[in-house]
Structure 1
Amino acid sequence: MGYWVVDDPALAREVLLDPETFRPDNAVLAHTPLSVKALRVLSGVGFALPPTLANNAGESHRPIRAAVARFFSPARVAAVEPLARELTSARVEAASVRLAAGEQVDLVHAIAADPPALVLLHLLGVADVDVPALKAWSLDSLELFWGWPDEDRQLELAHSAAEFYAWLRTRTTAARKTPGDDLFGTLVSLGLTDEEVCAVGYFLLIAGQETTTQLISTAFHRSVGELIEPAGVVEKVLREASSVPTWRRVAARPTVIGEAEVPAGAPVLLGLSGHGGPADLAFGIGIHRCLGAGLARLEARVALECARELLAGVRLVDEPPMIDLLSFRAPKRLLVVTDGNTGDN
């Protein structure tokens, strides 16, 4: 794949805790180099991802991170649990009705998809968002930056990413005219450029909800036909099959990882889950640890608690297709029927 791969959890931890030697400069670069046509589409909306959060090793990282972290304080995350439970319970109830009528139900689309987005937007104070569009933008952008799309597919994905970025530009312009205390108003008040505000919004609005949908989807997949203990399932999935199983760094100078001599400029791919490490490593460690770790754990637990009885009484119709990207992996859909149903309806 063109990376120095670090699967040992202890070594991955060492790399993450040494941001001077192992910089995050490549964290959000396109894994598959973008074609001229795709780049032209992106440049048409001024698409740019300057260093802000995941890809920032400079002095601006700390104030940007501190400003965003306030939206994800432990108190705010705890306070949002009733909303997460209400949103999920309503979708579980609707799915249960359909299943009882003999229908096949996709648990990803029916239950896992929307609540994380709605909860995130609530926490960030961002209103009037087309959630289906946000979900589509998110999946397309993940594929564009972490997938293996050919040139034709890149062009499709670039148009989607450009549409998302244009929307972020509109929100940033509005925040400059009428400052508020939502995400965009907070970022504008820091004195960030339009490109920096959009870069924060771009990946925060993706990572803050789509990776949680994927975590919930994997947890659902492992729980079909079982009467599970929700918190235990969440921790097991984080240890063994996190929705973000890898992450990238680049060596700033010649160094050693374990017994391997790594040259300057070497791209490094870290295994975050599935290699015997602790559940917490799935969220990274150090100055770039995922700001939404507590929120993701809460939402996944709530989803499993709400769907516990439903999951115990259904079976998969087929082996689910997967989202299978460099750093993101989860079932794309989970088509189920009630246990005993033939699934022909």
Structure 2
Amino acid sequence: MTRCPAWYDGVLGMWVVDDPGEVRGVLLDPEGFRPDNAVVAHTALSVKALRVLQGVGFALPPTLANNAGASHRPIRAAVARFFSPARVAAVEPLTRRLVTERVGVALELLAAGPVDLVEVVAAEPPALVLLEMLGVRDVDIPALKAWSRESLELFWGWPDEDRQLELAHSAAEFYGWLRKRVTAARVQPGDDLFGVLVELGLSDEEVCAVAYFLLIAGQETTTQLISAAFHRAVGSVIGDAAELVELVLRESSSVPTWRRITAEPVALGDVELPAGAPVLLGLSGHGGPADLAFGLGIHRCLGAGLARLETRVALECAGPLLAAVRGVEAAPPMIELLSFRAPARVLVAQRSPGDTRPVS
């Protein structure tokens, strides 16, 4: 049966492309399919929400994911140095230590009742590892996690106006924190993320835009990927953790879709798309390779290697725990956003030797 290369989803207001070959072609054609809409709020921001954001000078000029211009290459090169293969490999001991500590906490808590492996194990290690790699110190981790989840909902969710206003206040608080970091870096430049971007000659708004989504995507999506892997592995003995990571990336990545917009009229197979058509690309769950979950071409995820390492290490360190517990919820509550999907929690309980209840 021939798959339709693209169809219009009237609810989303987007052209959907999920055939892996077509998705690959779109991602490798940044001139024809531009990234201009990559970080535009999916639900149009209300006047009240916009006022809150404008109050802190919130702006997201083209920098990385949304940049098709000449400035993309030098910005990407500057950030990519933080995620070189050598630097990624060097943080494995730290990752292993952080996850092992939290697995120990989970084991202690299990004696008293069910434990959420997302909150206890998966949530904080990716943030701590990312900040170490970027050289960013003195960060309130719970605040960063809250800012991250709420910004993802603001830009990729379907919040009503009241919820949108709450989320805008959170995003404004995060952006205000970023502005203070940029100001400090201009006074005393260092070799951390902010110092490197300032030395590159970027404006305050450009530095904030890079840091805003890098500090979110560099850790929150990995927490979500680990959560998805934990949910799949509960109650089972993990053979090859790296293979399980690849399976999750192929079938249920935490970033299952991404957006593009056509620069001019274009044909996908026998389907004609007009200029300015928003396109939603299916990255995961459609029979494509695991690597497609990180995108392709000039906008491929810079943290792909780090996300794979952290998820593999999390599965290896939590393996004995995952094998010894049962899932409490067969269908846990989910983070369900346009481009982000993962279990919001993975609730597990001890399983006694004679426990015949289903694993999940």
Give the TM bin, normalised by the shorter chain.
Answer: over 0.9
- 1:298 paired residue number: 309
Letter in 1 for 2:244: V
> What SS does structure 1 have at the residue aligned with 2:298?
coil
Q: In the alignment, which of 13, 18, 29 is matched to residue 40 of structure 2?
A: 29
Q: In the alignment, which of 84, 87, 93 is matched to residue 82 of structure 1?
A: 93
Give the CA deviation at 1:240: 0.3
CA distance in 2 between partners of 1:298 and 1:207 (Å): 15
Aligned: 1:273 with 2:284: yes
Give the CA deviation at 1:225: 0.4
| 1:69-148 paired onto structure 2 within 5 Å | 69-99=80-110, 101-148=111-158
CA distance in 2 between partners of 1:235 and 1:59 (Å): 33
Aligned: 1:20 with 2:62: no
Q: In the alignment, which of 219, 225, 228 is matched to residue 209 of structure 1?
A: 219
Q: Is the 8 A contact 1:272 1:281 kept in 2?
A: yes
Q: In the alignment, which of 348, 352, 357 is matched to residue 336 of structure 1?
A: 348
- 1:218 paired residue number: 228
CA distance in 1 between partners of 2:199 and 2:192 (Å): 11
Structure 1 gap ranges (5+)? none
Q: Is the 8 A contact 1:102 1:338 kept in 2?
A: no
Aligned: 1:321 with 2:333: yes
> What SS does structure 2 have at the residue aligned with 1:56?
coil
CA distance in 1 between partners of 2:283 and 2:351 (Å): 35
Aligned: 1:169 with 2:151: no
Letter in 1 for 2:90: A
Q: In the alignment, which of 193, 199, 210 is matched to residue 189 of structure 1?
A: 199
Give the CA deviation at 1:335: 1.1
CA distance in 1 between partners of 2:346 and 2:304 (Å): 24
| Divergent runs of 4+, >3 A | none
Give the CA deviation at 1:49: 0.1
CA distance in 1 between partners of 2:327 and 2:50 (Å): 40
Give the CA deviation at 1:250: 0.1
> What SS does structure 1 have at the residue aligned with 2:349?
strand
Give the CA deviation at 1:232: 1.2
Give the CA deviation at 1:258: 2.1
- 1:61 paired residue number: 72
Bigger mean CA offset, 280-289 vs 312-321: 312-321
Bigger mean CA offset, 102-111 vs 6-15: 102-111
- 1:262 paired residue number: 273
Give the CA deviation at 1:314: 0.8
**Superposed CA offset, 1:54-81 (max 9, x none):** 0000000000000000000000000000
Letter in 1 for 2:300: R
Q: Is the 8 A contact 1:28 1:55 kept in 2?
A: yes
- 1:227 paired residue number: 237
Give the CA deviation at 1:94: 1.1
Calculate the aligned-residue CA RMSD, in Å: 0.8
**Superposed CA offset, 1:129-165 (max 9, x none):** 0000000000000000000000000000000000000
Give the CA deviation at 1:219: 0.1
**Superposed CA offset, 1:249-283 (max 9, x none):** 00000001122100000000000000000000000
Give the CA deviation at 1:102: 3.5
Identity percentage over the alignment?
Answer: 77
CA distance in 1 between partners of 2:326 and 2:60 (Å): 43
CA distance in 2 between partners of 1:274 and 1:262 (Å): 24
> What SS does structure 2 have at the residue aligned with 1:287?
helix
Aligned: 1:245 with 2:229: no
CA distance in 2 between partners of 1:154 and 1:54 (Å): 23
Equivalenced residue count is 341
Structure 2 gap ranges (5+)? 1-11
Give the CA deviation at 1:339: 1.3
Aligned: 1:153 with 2:153: no
- 2:6 paired residue number: none
Give the CA deviation at 1:197: 0.2
